[in-house]
Amino acid sequence: MQHDIGLIGLAVMGQNLVLNIANHGYSIGVYNRTTETMEKFVGGLKDEPADKVWEGSADRIGGYKSLEEFVASLKRPRRVMIMVKAGAPVDAVIDQLKPLLEPGDIIIDGGNADFRDTNRRSKELRDEGFLFIGTGVSGGEEGALKGPSIMPGGHKEAWPHVKDILQSISAKVGPNEDIPCCDWVGEDGAGHYVKMVHNGIEYGDMQLICEAYFLLKHCIGATNEQLYQTFKEWNEGELESYLIEITRDIFTVKDEESGEYLVDQILDTAKQKGTGKWMSQHALDLGVPTTLITEAVYARCLSGQKDARVRASKVLDGPKVTFDGDPNQFADDVRQALYASKLVSYAQGYVQLDAAADEFGWKLDNGSIALLWRGGCIIRSTFLQDIKNAFDKKADLENLLLDDFFKSAIDEAQPAWRRVCATAIEQGLPAPGFTAALSYYDGYRRDRLPANLLQAQRDYFGAHTYERIDKPRGETFHTDWIHERKV
């Protein structure tokens, strides 16, 4: 059998992508470093339920014990998708593949790669005559099987050879559910960069939702039943999204062992895989203020210091929560604060995308990227269509907050947003996402910030110079501050 495509790496994501590809009529060869894993997967296909393996799909999947047999089973140009752990394992697989492939064959890295690695691999493989695609795949195990969001980048001449396959297996959106959440993103590491930004926004969204939950629980004493109803209502409005939906459902699940609600039995320490941190780190490299997502990363770090927090809670004091406002009004204020902060999060994400595009010479279509996230991925929401509309109106929009829709939404939510942030501070409840978003908004809308004093300080102690408001930009000055002192 000559396969349309091959896949290496049969962990759960890899297996589900294989099934998705076969379910859409494509023949696929599979290889895994551990042969037993491959044999167990291929041998068990006929026992899988029909909603997982469609009729006839098992016959389109072939398993191979050696890379040589695997590569020989593929149609030319050979298309090989790698789904192994990011980093050195990907390089090792590529090195094993290269002697078996021919110039013009296509290697696809579908893992959570660091975009810098993708940039490097893109250059190295082009120099050796191979075509390379680094693609983000979002949606977890279920998305991989039923339709993920796919963000491909790399060598554009490879795109026509994989377009039909990737678009057919991706999630679909639109009135007729026929718009694929997969399209070409850009050169070299652009696809993995967009996936990284997606994951960073995911960090921000999750942190904001958690802060909303925390404030409702501690300020107005909302029960899990009430929280379910609140998030149910929110999911029927402008906040409709996958994350609001699953949060709603979480409040309904009880623990069989204790009989209590399961969410209340979970230890308050959040883990992370690193992509949110990568985004924050590169924001610093680019000099762009991706503050909300960075605060979301730090919030996970602080949650991880559980033992230290328990010790501190016995020593450090703060105000007792004594909120006596209208519970219904406060809940609606939190809804608006969540929405406004979410707008800021996406605005910051797109500013960073634009800065990265300038840095690496990528030609990104910001509206198209919003559509890639409309389905299949963790941050999918109806709100993303509003982002697409904003970039349709002005492709070179400097900041989403300047779009009429976003400006109007912020204006409407702003009083509630400020009340929520003030209440959180007054009651001693941490809300780093809400407050970081509001601080960014207030800083961005000011034509003058206190950095003039900061620059004077730098010039005083380090002769770093400064610019003047009454002179052309770029012209620098230095003052001998000690000898100019008048007191």
Active site residue ranges:
195, 202
Instruction: Decide if 194 contacts 356 (C-beta within 8 A).
Output: no
Q: What is the DSSP letter of 254?
A: B
Using omega within 30 degrees of 0 as the cis cutoff, is the peptide bond preceding 77 cis? yes
- In the sheet that 106-109 helps form, which strands lie side by side, from edge to edge? 61-64, 28-31, 5-8, 79-82, 106-109, 131-138, 149-154, 186-187
Helix axes 327-360, 275-286, angle to 10 degrees: 60
Task: Report d(CA 88, CA 327) in Å as an integer.
Answer: 53
Structure tokens belonging to residue 319? 């105000």
**Chain CA centroid to CA 96, Å:** 31
Q: How far apart are CA 248 and CA 252, in angstroms?
A: 8
Helix 432-444 vs helix 291-303: angle between axes, to the nearest 10 degrees?
Answer: 160
Amino acid at 31: Y
Evaluate whether 228 touches 252 at the Cβ level (below 8 Å): yes
Q: Are 201 and 370 in contact (CB under 8 A)?
A: no
Distance, in Å, from the CA atom of 60 to the CA atom of 77, rounded to the nearest integer, reads: 19
Of residues 75, 187, 72, the one with CA closest to residue 131: 187
